[in-house]
Amino acid sequence: MELKCEGLLQEQRDLYGRISRVVENLRKLGQANITQGAVQSRLTLLDKYWSRFEEQHTILRTEHKDALKQQDYTKSDFVSKVEEAYQDQKSTLLDLAARLSKQS
C-alpha cells in the first residue's frame, strides 16, 4: 500500500482518539474550571477534528479507493464508529453548555 495512504489511515486513527476523548479531557480540568468558554472551545475543537476527518476520508475514497478495500478501515466501517463518537461527544458538550447557561 502506498505510504501516503498508510499515513492518512494513521491520521484517521489519531483523529478518532482525539474525537472520542474531548469530553474526558474537559473533565480533567476539574469541575471549577469547566466554564461555558471551556465547553465552547471544546465544541470548536471537536468540529475541527471532524472536518479534518471528513476531508481525509474523501481523499482516501477518491485517491486510494482500491487500496482501501482491503483495509480494516473499510471492513469494520470505521467511519461510522468515528461519526458515532463525534455525535456522542458533541451531544454531551451541548448538554453541558445548556446546563451551564441555565446556571448563569
- Tell me the per-residue pLDDT of 1-11, one tens digit each, with 9 for 90 and over: 577 999 999 99
- Tell me the per-residue pLDDT of 47-92, one tens digit each, with 9 for 90 and over: 999 999 999 999 999 999 998 988 999 999 999 999 999 999 999 9
CB atoms near residue 51 (< 10 Å)? 10
Q: Output the pTM of the full model.
A: 0.93
Contact indicator for 26, 19 with CB cutoff of 8 Å: no
Cα gap 64→83, rounded to integer Å:
21
